Amino acid sequence: MTRVDADIDALREFHAALVRFRYSQRDVIDRAGLAIDAALATLSAQTAETDIELEGIRRWQQRVEEESSAYHGGAGRFRDLLDIDLPRAEDQLLTLIASLESCRTDPT
């Protein structure tokens, strides 16, 4: 075998190695692409589930805010009753009691 023949054989081996490398790397890229696509699909599904859960949380938050507002409105009215109306009624009762006692002690 001549030196040129050896060089040609080496180039053929190199070519064959390049072809094997190209095909093996395509397989790696394809598997990686499938793995990435699967991960993306999983994340998309989880995002959809999270969006549904978040919407539920938002509905509950709105309901809690509405109920809180209703409570504070009723509590405010009850506080007004305790702080304003009941003392006024107490004063009126004391005036009535005093009036009745004066009638009882004053036989006119």
Q: pLDDT per position in the chain (108 positions), as tens?
A: 688 888 899 999 999 999 999 888 988 899 999 999 999 999 999 999 999 999 999 999 999 999 999 999 999 999 999 999 999 999 999 999 999 988 887 666
By CB atoms closer than 10 A (0-12, 13-18, 19+), residue 95 is: exposed
The single residue listed with the structure tokens 């009624």 is 89
Which pLDDT belongs to residue 106? 66
What pTM, to 2 d.p., does this model score?
Answer: 0.50
Which pLDDT belongs to residue 103? 87
Q: Hey, what are 27's tokens?
A: 């397989």
